[in-house]
Amino acid sequence: MIEATQPLKLAVVGCGGRGVGVAREFQGLGLARVTAVCDVADKGLAHAKEVFPEAFATKDVQAVGRREDVEAVFIATTDDTHVDAALALKPFDKHLLVEKPLATSIADCDRLVNGYASVKDKVHMVGLCMRYSNATRRVHQIVSSGMIGEVLCADCIDHVSVGGSYYFHHWMSRKKHVVGLLLQKGCHSLDFISWIIGSRAVKVHAFGGLDYYGGEEAAEKVCHECGEFEDCSERQERFVELDYVKQPVRKPDFCAYSREVDVCDNAIVNVLYESGAKLSYTECHFSPDYVREFVFIGTHGRVEARLPHHGHPEIKVSFRHRPFKHLSETIELDPGGHGGGDPAMLREFVAAIQKRRRPLTDFEAGREGAAIAISAEQSIETGQVVEVRNADGTPRAITRRKGRSRELSRKALLDRAPLYGKGS
C-alpha cells in the first residue's frame, strides 16, 4: 500500500500532449513521480525525456511493466491501442489509468473488462475527467438526493466552437483512427449523463452528417503552407494553448476541408436505458460557442446545467406544480485542466489505490460510455437501432414496470418544493 506522504511511482505510456500534460499535473500536485516513459515514436520519447530527464525511457511497454520502480501506469497512446497496451501490462500487476475512450470497439472494451475481471487487488481506471469537476459532482449530488425524483428524460447539446482546431485539422478527423467524434469527444457527456441517470443503455439510434467540414482538398495540404491561410475562417495556428498542458503545444494543421476527413461534424443520438429513461444527445462541431447544456427531468422536477468551457457553470432546479419555486446556483470551478476535473481525477486514482477500493470511473464504467458512442456511430452507418449487450454477450432489457403507482400526493409535492426552492 502506498503511504499518503509517498508519491506514486508512475510510468507514462504514450507521450503526446495529453500523456505528458497529465504526468506533469501528477507531479505538480505531489501525487506521483514519473519514473519511466514509453512511446513508439522517437519524437514523443525525446520530448518526454526533456520533461522527465531522470525517467527510464523505452519503446517497449513490457519493459515498463518489468520495472520495480513503477507502481502505476498512465496509458495515453492512440485510442485504438489502449487495450493492447493495457493487456500487455497485465502480467506485471500494475495499477492502471487508461485515457478515455477505453477502446474504439465494443469487442476491445470487452477484451479489457473480461481480461481484468479476475484482478481484484489493483486499481483499473478510465480517464473520464468530466465526472470529477465540482460542477458535475454538484449535479449528481442534487439528483442522487432525490430532489427531482427518478430521472426519466434527459437532453444534452454539446456546442463545440473549437471543433475545427481540436479535431478537423488533426488525425482525429479520420474514422480509421477514432471511429467518430461521438466516441472521441462525446464519451465525456455520454458517460456523465448515464452516471446521473444511474442506468445502462439498452438501445441506441442516431443520425449524423459531415455537413460543414471535409471537401475536396488534398490530403497532404497543411495550413502553414497554404496561400489562403490569411483569408480562411478555419485556419489552424501551429501552436495552441490547451488547459491541461499549461503551455503552447504544436498542433497538426492538416486542411479541415480535406477529402480524407470522414467523421461526422454533427449528430443526434437517442438512447433508451434499462430504467426506461430516455436521452436525446446532440453534438455540433461548428457551433458559435463552446458550452455543454444538460436537462434532466425527473418525477418531481427538473435540473438544468449550463457548463461553459470558459466562465462559471450555472445550475437550476425547478419543481413540479411549483414552477415559480427554484434553486439557482453559480459554481466556482476548482483550478486545473478540464474545469478542475483533471486534478480531482488524479486524486481519485491515488485515493482508490491507498484505500484499496474501486475508483468512480473503473473499466466497467468506461465500457458503458464507449458502448453508447460506438453504437451510435454504428447506427449512423447502418440506419438501424443498435442493441447494447453486456460484456458477456447477454442481452439487456427495460426493467421497470409500465406506469408507476402514485409516489406523492399533490399536497406532498406542493409542500416539498419550497423546502429546496427560492422565489424567482
319: left (phi over 0), alpha (psi -120 to 50) or beta: beta
Given this model, what pLDDT does residue 2 score?
A: 42
Give me the DSSP letters along 61-113.
HHHHHT-TT-SEEEE-S-GGGHHHHHHHTGGG--EEEEESSS-SSHHHHHHHH
| CATH architecture entry for 8-130+338-361 | 3-Layer(aba) Sandwich (3.40)
d(CA 173, CA 263): 6
Domain ranges of the chain: 8-130+338-361, 132-334+371-387
> Half-sphere exposure (CA, 13 Å, Cβ side) for 410?
1
Q: Is the pLDDT of residue 302 over 50?
A: yes
In sequence order, which residues have a C-beta less than 8 Å from that of residue 355 and are 6 or more positions away?
A: none
Given this model, what pLDDT does residue 243 score?
A: 59
User: Are 379 and 205 in contact, with CB atoms under 8 Å apart?
Assistant: yes
d(CA 126, CA 281): 22
Mean pLDDT of the chain: 91
**Listed residue (268, 297, 272, 279) closest to 193, CA to CA:** 279
Given this model, what pLDDT does residue 320 score?
A: 84
DSSP for residue 167: I
d(CA 135, CA 155): 17
> pLDDT tens across 315-351, in order?
999 998 776 678 899 999 998 889 999 999 999 999 9
Could you tell me the three cell numbers for 277?
429513461
> pLDDT tens across 25-82, in order?
999 999 999 999 999 999 999 999 999 999 999 999 999 999 999 999 999 999 999 9
**What's the whole-model pTM score?**
0.91
Q: Is the pLDDT of residue 108 over 60?
A: yes
d(CA 192, CA 210): 25
| CATH architecture entry for 132-334+371-387 | 2-Layer Sandwich (3.30)
Given this model, what pLDDT does residue 329 score?
A: 94
User: Are 105 and 296 in contact, with CB atoms under 8 Å apart?
Assistant: no
Could you tell me the three cell numbers for 421?
426552492
> pLDDT tens across 120-138, in order?
999 999 999 999 999 999 9
Proportion of the chain above pLDDT 70, given as a percent: 90
d(CA 52, CA 69): 15
d(CA 30, CA 154): 38
Q: How close are the terminal C-alpha atoms of the chain, in Å?
A: 51
Could you tell me the three cell numbers for 158?
454539446
**Listed residue (67, 60, 76) closest to 22, CA to CA:** 76
